[in-house]
Structure formats: C-alpha cells, structure tokens
Amino acid sequence: MVAFGGCRLKSELYVDASASPRVFTTVAVIPVSGSRFDQQIAARVWHNLRAAGVSVADPAILSPSPQIGITTVCQQAAEKGFQGVVFVDWNKLTLVSCETQRTAFQVAGSDMNAPGVDRLTQVLVRYLRGESLQ
C-alpha cells in the first residue's frame, strides 16, 4: 500500500533501490499497446507529469505499438534527451531506465477498486522528486 494525502491506496509498489530517481531528468511516456484506449491513458499521464513540473519528451517522438521494446525506445534516448521510459497501462505505470534497461519504479493498482491513473501518476511524481512514498 502507498500512503497518499492521509489515506492508503490499494496499490503495488516496486522501487529498485540501486536506481536513483535523480537520473531521470526527462522521461518519455508511451502506452503499452497501440489501442486508442491505451493511447488516451498515456496522453493523460504525459499531461499530468507536465502539469506537475516533470520534464517529459515530446509525445510525437515515439510511435506506440504492442511490439515496441525498451531497446528500440532507448535507441532514441540520447538524441531526444530522455533517460527513462514510462510504460503506461490502464492500472500500471512502469519506469524503465534507458541506461540499465531495467525497471526502476513501478506502481500498479491491485484490483478494480484501486486508484486511477491520476493517483498513480502522483506517486510516480513523488518518486521522481525523491520524496517519501510511505
């Protein structure tokens, strides 16, 4: 469970202790699939991250498809100026480091009553700022 605003969210959290959130000065955001639904959710996460002051790569740089992998995405990292990729699913956000190609952070709703993607994005923002997740 993750504490947020005085209440506990029913969610699953993974943080790679060896990955520093300070590494991710800019992130790219892409949906896990090319479906319109996933693209809309990814757009919402992109907007919420920007609104929170997180530097996010231009969404037009990546073409979402179900076959896209971290290696393919991260080949553009140096040129486009991002260090990690947030893969967006309807109930899960996964931040993968382009340097290590490993999951640095993941937050997921654990059931249908779990927090929505807006609340999950807020937890991601707290991680990127180096704030406590407890």
- pLDDT tens per residue across span 16-39: 999 999 999 999 998 888 788 888
Average pLDDT value for residue range 51-70: 75
**For residue 124, which of 96, 100, 102, 98 has the smallest C-alpha distance?**
96
Is the Cβ–Cβ distance between 16 and 105 less than 8 Å?
Answer: yes
Walk me through the domains of the chain, giving residue ranges and CATH numbers: 10-128 (3.40.50.800)
CA angle 106–110–116, rounded 5-degree value: 75
**For residue 18, which of 87, 85, 102 has the smallest C-alpha distance?**
102
What is the value of pTM for the model shown? 0.86
Q: Name the pLDDT band for 107 (thresholds 50, 70, 90).
A: very high
